[in-house]
Amino acid sequence: MKWNDSISNLYNQKQSLEAIKSRYENAEKAIHITLQNLKSEGKFQGLIHNLRDEGWKDWQIISNILNFILDYKIRLFESETLGKTTNHNLQKVFHNMFWKYIKIDEKDNYISFPIDAFESKEFNMQFKVGLIAVLHRYNLECKFQTPPFNAVREFLNVKFNYDKDEYNDINPLKDI
């Protein structure tokens, strides 16, 4: 039996493009120094081209860079608070910290990230985590304990243009 491969009725391109624009705007303040430093490195430019060749859009790459950097900073700067947080509340506390850190200008908590950090398995895992986060944007969920990430990505590509939508007006990677 063939599955329904039409665009979801939950998908709205205008809203999708606005969400991508918001992702770029939210990321700018929190990672502008790191991006400026990395963009001058040929190895970083190669990484971006490789990720694009794997089918990742620039907004997905920027979101992953942002999530990777903020995850690291929160674990570093908030380790005492996180250590005192019960497992039951950890996700909520971490989520609140994420939104706190996304509003902080990177110049106020700068940490240098070498290009190798963005070639790590931890960074690549952010792409998988991001897939599940996008499901939540549409009030969908994946109940698998170990999600089938390739299937989720294919689902998002087919039903929500995940591999097509991009907003280039303020794309910080558009010159690479």
Per-residue pLDDT of 19-65, as tens digits, reads 999 999 999 999 999 999 999 999 999 999 999 999 999 999 999 99
pTM for this model (two decimals) = 0.92
Other beta carbons within 10 Å of 44: 18
Is-contact 153 131, C-beta < 8 A?
A: yes
What is the full DSSP assignment across 17-57? HHHHHHHHHHHHHHHHHHHHHHHT-HHHHHHHHHHHHTT--
- Predicted local confidence at residue 63, as pLDDT: 96
Per-residue pLDDT of 3-31, as tens digits, reads 788 999 999 999 999 999 999 999 999 99
Structure tokens at 71: 């995850």
